[in-house]
Amino acid sequence: MNRTMKTSTALLIALAVVGVLAPMTGLYPQFLMKCVALALFAVAFNFFTGNVGLLSIGHAAFFGMGAYAAGYATKEWGFTPELALAASLVVGIALGLVMGGMAIRRQGIYFAMITLALAQMVYFVCVQAPFTGAEDGLQRIPRHSLFGVIDLSSDLMMYAFVLAIMIASVWGFQRIMESPFGQVLLAIRDNEPRAISLGYDVQKYKLSAFTISAAVAGLAGGVKALTLGFAGLPDAHWTQSGNVILMCLLGGLGTPLGPVIGAILVVALESRLSGLGVVQIGPVTLDLSSKVPIIIGLIFMTCVLLFRRGIVGEISAAFASAKARRKSVADDEKKSVAS
């Protein structure tokens, strides 16, 4: 195994360990499961936008529809969780192919705007369609037994199930990126004209990446619906698209684990802030729960202005420059020894 594969395996193991140990720290299972769902969403989004370099502002469509699909299948058709999540995947793939197919020919900003507008169409469909339950959404989605036999009614079991799904997905994405397919994606991101001149059908590659990303985003929505027990309009709203972008930006776009860290941070921040309620800072009394969007927005702006590489990005950059400094010091020493 070469060095990158070793690092990524190590990271994966670290993630698994953290995931397994987390419930023991006394954090609420609901919180943990929300983290898992959104981390999966962020990883899916990052796979496309981070590795292909095209911004999609429409991923909420996949997340929301995935949530509805799993919720509806479980509630109305009695699907067991693995089938319900399969439904989410299928919905994600279908939607991804359609939306991606329409948007993929365009570059940069146009691509972003088109994904946004198409996602908005999906949102309006959700508002009006009978199966979504409109404003109320799908509530009290039951937890059937996994494969018909494993009881998921305990939060811990459910958490273990979805944690496994998330780890498997992160592993899956790592393998994809290490494969030739992944390398071509990176080549397209760095220099599309060159990739075209090398004979690659870039549109097909981009569309495939988009569809995979959409599928897993749908899966994430399904996970959210099954673990938290409800699916609603906010899941498909464009602010959810903005949310996932923030998570990746904060954690580090394009890095393998950045999105996970970003997702955990954002979920933690939102729940902490709402939880704090009214707070006294010096002479000023602030009701923090209503100020969540303001704070999120400020973090967004600060990240973009000062902190673009995200947490993981900044850390790896720091490591890289430290290594470079050590190397240049070593080189200088070699030179002085030689002369």
Partner 1 sequence: MFDIPLQVLLGQITIGLVNGCFYAILSLGLALIFGLLNVINFAHGALYMLGAFGVYLAMQKLGVNYWWSLLLVPVVVGAFGALVERLLLRRLIGLDHLYGLLFTFGLALVLEGIFRDIYGSAGLPYPTPPALRGLVDLGFMRMPIYRVWIVGASLVVCFATWFLIERTRLGSYLRAGTENAKMVQALGINVPLMVTFVYALGAALAAFAGVLAAPIYQVQPLMGSNILIVTFAVVVIGGLGSTAGAIATGLALGVIEGLSKVFYPEVSSTIVFIVMALVLLVRPAGLFGREA
In whole angstroms, give the CA distance from residue 209 to residue 207: 5
**From candidates 293, 320, 323, 334, binder to partner 1 by CB under 8 A:** 293
Look at residues 124, 105, 97, 103 and name the one whose alpha carbon lies nearest to residue 57.
103
Q: Token digits for 98?
A: 């359609």
- Shortest distance (Å) from residue 302 CB to partner 1: 8
- Please tell me whether residue 112 binds partner 1 under the rule CB under 8 A: yes
**C-alpha angle 52-110-308 in degrees, rounded to nearest 5:** 50
- Taking CB under 8 A as the binding criterion, the range among 38-46, 107-115, 171-179, 220-228 that sits at the site for partner 1 is 107-115
Look at residues 220, 301, 294 and name the one whose alpha carbon lies nearest to residue 260.
220
- Please tell me whether residue 114 binds partner 1 under the rule CB under 8 A: yes
In whole angstroms, give the CA distance from residue 186 to residue 248: 18
Supply φ then ψ for residue 146, to 5 degrees.
-70, 130
- Please tell me whether residue 245 binds partner 1 under the rule CB under 8 A: yes
- Please tell me whether residue 292 binds partner 1 under the rule CB under 8 A: yes
- Please tell me whether residue 191 binds partner 1 under the rule CB under 8 A: no
**From candidates 190, 272, 297, 321, binder to partner 1 by CB under 8 A:** 297
Binding mask 30-69 for partner 1 (x = CB under 8 A): -------------------------x-x------------
- Please tell me whether residue 274 binds partner 1 under the rule CB under 8 A: no
- Please tell me whether residue 118 binds partner 1 under the rule CB under 8 A: yes
Look at residues 246, 292, 250, 291 and name the one whose alpha carbon lies nearest to residue 269.
292
- Taking CB under 8 A as the binding criterion, the range among 32-40, 87-95, 211-219, 290-298 that sits at the site for partner 1 is 290-298
In whole angstroms, give the CA distance from residue 128 to residue 20: 40
How many residues of this chain bind partner 1 (CB under 8 A)? 39
- Taking CB under 8 A as the binding criterion, the range among 20-28, 38-46, 124-132, 267-275 that sits at the site for partner 1 is 124-132
Q: What is the DSSP string of 268-316?
A: HHHHHHHHH-EEEETTEEEEGGGGHHHHHHHHHHHHHHH-TTHHHHHHH
**From candidates 4, 27, 76, 108, binder to partner 1 by CB under 8 A:** 108
In whole angstroms, give the CA distance from residue 153 to residue 144: 8
Interface with partner 1 (CB under 8 A): 55, 57, 102, 105-106, 108-110, 112-114, 116-118, 120-121, 124-125, 127-128, 238, 242, 245, 249, 290-294, 296-301, 303-305, 308
